[in-house]
Chain A
Amino acid sequence: MILDVKGVTKRYGGLVAVDDVSFTVDESEILGIIGPNGAGKSTTLNLISGFDTLTSGSVLFDGRNIAGMKAERISALGMGRNFQSSLLFMQLPVIENVFAAYHLQLKTPAWKRLLHLPAAKAEEAELRGKSGEILDKLGLGDLKYEITRNLAYGHQRILSVCIALATNPKLLLLDEPLTGMNQTEIQTMVELIKWIRSTGITVIIIEHNIQALMSLCDRLVVLDHGRKITEGLPKDVRTNPEVIEAYLGTEGD
């Protein structure tokens, strides 16, 4: 068990955005969190990754309580994430986006890096090479030196996953990685996520597009109005009447 979310609650004044949500994530699994708009999916993700402070509850990551920690601290512990609305360093070349994510992995002593000694330069060159490899692996190799703003939308989504991967995470949180993509792009992304899991990284996906998740996820957690209504295998969730009522039913008609 890599992540244990217990009774997580977030209140904005009188509004309860996330209400007593608990679930666990096992190592090397792909967990999907689904639910209709406004179900509290993104808020849950922000609470786990430290971008929002929780009102009550606890989050155990690798056995350590990370509730209340700052986002950068949690990232350093090995939790990577991307953002829903393509949050990238738009003005920089693609490869610099990924290279920036190696921020915490520089091992040369700081004074050598400040004086730009050969050891530091060699390390940077190596990490830049690694950045290039990640981009090659995820199919952005041809666009390495392009300015990020000029990238197509689907490519930008993939780049946001590349950045999260470069932080060398044990657990990767993906916030709506498939939203707004066309069918080919969705297929590419699904393959990428499967490949990421095959390298031993645990993945949590928040998604609106439930169809793609059915084949991708090992388990699904369903949220509605900030509460967890059920969790289980995709095939069971699919036939759960509560889920159909909350989510699939409304979309079906």
Chain B
Amino acid sequence: MQKIAKAPVSRAWFTWLVALVALVVAVVIPLFVKSDYYRDILITAIVFAVLSMTFVMQLKSGLISLGIAAFWGIGAYSAAIMTTKMGLSFWAALPLSALLTAVVAFLLGFIIIGRGGVFTFVILTAVVGMLFSVSVGASSYLGNYAGISNIPSPGTVKIPGLPAWDFLNKSAWYYLALILLVLVAVICFALYKSWIGRAWTSIGLNTRLASSIGVNVFRYRLLGFVIASGIAGLIGAFYASYVVNIDPSQFSTWSNIYLQLYAILGGIQYAIAGPILGSVIMRFLPTALSSIPGYADLVTGALLILFILFLPHGLLGLLSQGRAGLTGLRENLARVGRFFSQSSERADGPRVPDVADSGQREPQAAIEAPVTGEGSAPSSMNKADER
């Protein structure tokens, strides 16, 4: 029963191919999508994809942030103040806003992450989210709840050999958003593949073991919080200039909930592709459903719940698992079927429901599914040992 250890077949080339195709598609899309309405959806989808990525970045080290929208807002407001009141150009305000947001996150991080655990973090980031809206609303310098209007567009960029890049139409904005998206994706990729990403993952999977191997839990969580917030600030600066008028309601907790849902829908394990796919789909869905007048939001919400119930690993999880993913989906559906048949039986007579029990076991089977799909040798031998 000797089993030879074989390195799993690398599918990196496939990932790169998909990324390349996606990039080419993203670059040529404005040639086919002429409507400003759809281009606007594309641009906001990119903004939310980036925000959603920062959510996943923090989630890697086990932190669920409810304050991403606030840092997005800090970036947007800094850029707005810099361009409207301090006379800076957009191109200077863009990096400066990102930097300022990161500095704010660094200072707040000492309190928010501090010695507290994961739950303290969730609560405190939610508090930051609320404080942001309230304090901006109370400040007349920041325009109270009316916000700041007439935020200038970026100055025209002239690249030799190309038409002038002026921000008079939506395709120019779209390409700027795309550049920022690619930049953020590359930063995320480089981080996740490095020791920093491994440290985040180890903290997220097992905090005690991580510190026993010398990972400074506080420092790495703080680092993730600062980088994620800086990115949120960067895209906030872009957003402020794009939408021209900003007010605190745009950066509410609702936005935060949306960007988390996009990440979950796309697939949490896919830290870069998941948020992009999730937010593109969810930004277009209400429009696609708008033929059902008045009910578009309702149907979108219902679809979202169904997605999360039946696809706990997101759309990409389903795609990458192939047949195993479909089996998992079928199991999930069967589970719900059992749940309903049980509840009707329960009405007839006393019966101990084992829903909670099966609910614990089956997601695990679903998690195990990608393992066999990964191309490594089957693990039947060890499973036999385990029994």
- Are these two chains actual partners, yes or no? yes
CA distance A72 to B174 in the complex (A): 45
Which of B212, B383, B385 interacts with A164 by CB under 8 Å? B212
Q: Nearest chain-B residue to A149 (Cβ)? A: B368
Q: Nearest chain-A residue to B189 (Cβ)? A: A116
A1 at the interface (CB under 8 A from B): no
CA distance A163 to B208 in the complex (A): 13
B367 at the interface (CB under 8 A from A): yes
Q: Check A88 against B206 for contact (C-beta < 8 Å).
A: yes
Q: Check B382 against A146 for contact (C-beta < 8 Å).
A: yes
Q: Check A142 against B4 for contact (C-beta < 8 Å).
A: yes
Q: Nearest chain-B residue to A78 (Cβ)? A: B214
Q: Nearest chain-A residue to B219 (Cβ)? A: A72
Q: Nearest chain-A residue to B269 (Cβ)? A: A91
B194 contacts across to A, CB distance below 8 A: 113-114, 116
Q: Check B5 against A141 for contact (C-beta < 8 Å).
A: yes
- A70 touching B211 in the complex, CB below 8 Å, given contacts A144-B5, A153-B386: yes
List the one stretch of B119-127, B140-148, B195-203, B251-259 in contact with chain A: B195-203
A82 contacts across to B, CB distance below 8 A: 212
B191 contacts across to A, CB distance below 8 A: 114
Q: Check A145 against B7 for contact (C-beta < 8 Å).
A: yes
Q: Check B205 against A89 for contact (C-beta < 8 Å).
A: yes
A15 at the interface (CB under 8 A from B): no
B290 at the interface (CB under 8 A from A): no
Which of B3, B201, B206, B214 interacts with A72 by CB under 8 Å? B214
A113 contacts across to B, CB distance below 8 A: 194-195
List the one stretch of A97-105, A194-202, A219-227 in contact with chain B: A97-105
Which of B2, B195, B212 interacts with A142 by CB under 8 Å? B2
- A101 touching B213 in the complex, CB below 8 Å, given contacts A116-B190, A142-B4: yes
Q: Please give the number of chain B residues whose Cβ is less than 8 angstroms from any Cβ of chain A in the complex.
A: 39
CA distance A115 to B201 in the complex (A): 19
Q: Check B379 against A147 for contact (C-beta < 8 Å).
A: yes
Query: Restricting to B192-240, which residues have a CB under 8 Å from any CB of A?
Result: 193-196, 198-199, 201-202, 205-206, 208-217
Q: Closest approach, in angstroms, between the C-beta of A245 and any C-beta of chain B? A: 35
CA distance A49 to B211 in the complex (A): 10
CA distance A153 to B190 in the complex (A): 35
B7 contacts across to A, CB distance below 8 A: 144-145
Q: Closest approach, in angstroms, between the C-beta of B173 and any C-beta of chain A? A: 30
B8 contacts across to A, CB distance below 8 A: 93, 145
Q: Check B212 against A146 for contact (C-beta < 8 Å).
A: no
B371 at the interface (CB under 8 A from A): yes
A106 at the interface (CB under 8 A from B): yes
CA distance A141 to B4 in the complex (A): 9
B376 at the interface (CB under 8 A from A): yes
A99 contacts across to B, CB distance below 8 A: 198
B361 at the interface (CB under 8 A from A): no
Q: Closest approach, in angstroms, between the C-beta of A204 and any C-beta of chain B? A: 14
- A49 touching B382 in the complex, CB below 8 Å, given contacts A72-B217, A87-B206: no
B202 contacts across to A, CB distance below 8 A: 89, 100, 103
Q: Check B382 against A150 for contact (C-beta < 8 Å).
A: yes
- A163 touching B371 in the complex, CB below 8 Å, given contacts A116-B194, A146-B379: no
Q: Nearest chain-B residue to A81 (Cβ)? A: B212
B2 contacts across to A, CB distance below 8 A: 142
Which of A72, A83, A91, A116 interacts with B205 by CB under 8 Å? A91
A51 contacts across to B, CB distance below 8 A: 208, 211-212
A76 at the interface (CB under 8 A from B): yes
Q: Closest approach, in angstroms, between the C-beta of A90 and any C-beta of chain B? A: 7
Query: Restricting to A232-246, which residues have a CB under 8 Å from any CB of B?
Result: none
CA distance A164 to B211 in the complex (A): 11
Q: Closest approach, in angstroms, between the C-beta of B83 and any C-beta of chain A? A: 31
- A103 touching B6 in the complex, CB below 8 Å, given contacts A90-B205, A147-B371: no
Which of A93, A104, A144 interacts with B214 by CB under 8 Å? A104
- A167 touching B195 in the complex, CB below 8 Å, given contacts A89-B206, A116-B190: no
Which of A100, A104, A142, A145 interacts with B376 by CB under 8 Å? A145
Q: Nearest chain-A residue to B4 (Cβ)? A: A142
A103 contacts across to B, CB distance below 8 A: 195, 198-199, 202, 213-215
Residue among B8, B198, B368 with most chain A CB within 10 A: B198
- A100 touching B214 in the complex, CB below 8 Å, given contacts A83-B208, A87-B208, A89-B206: no
CA distance A153 to B214 in the complex (A): 25
A192 at the interface (CB under 8 A from B): no
A149 contacts across to B, CB distance below 8 A: 368
- A150 touching B383 in the complex, CB below 8 Å, given contacts A91-B367, A100-B202, A144-B5: yes
A166 contacts across to B, CB distance below 8 A: 213
A88 contacts across to B, CB distance below 8 A: 206, 209
CA distance A46 to B7 in the complex (A): 36
Residues of B within 8 A of A (CB): 2-8, 190-191, 193-196, 198-199, 201-202, 205-206, 208-217, 367-368, 371, 376-377, 379, 382-383, 385-386
A87-B209, A150-B382, A151-B386 known, 17 other contacts, Cβ within 8 Å: A51-B208, A70-B216, A71-B208, A72-B216, A75-B211, A92-B201, A92-B205, A103-B215, A104-B213, A115-B190, A116-B193, A142-B3, A145-B8, A150-B368, A150-B379, A150-B386, A163-B212
17 residue pairs A–B, Cβ–Cβ below 8 Å: A72-B215, A75-B213, A75-B214, A89-B205, A93-B8, A99-B198, A103-B214, A104-B213, A106-B195, A114-B190, A114-B194, A141-B5, A142-B2, A142-B4, A147-B368, A152-B382, A155-B382
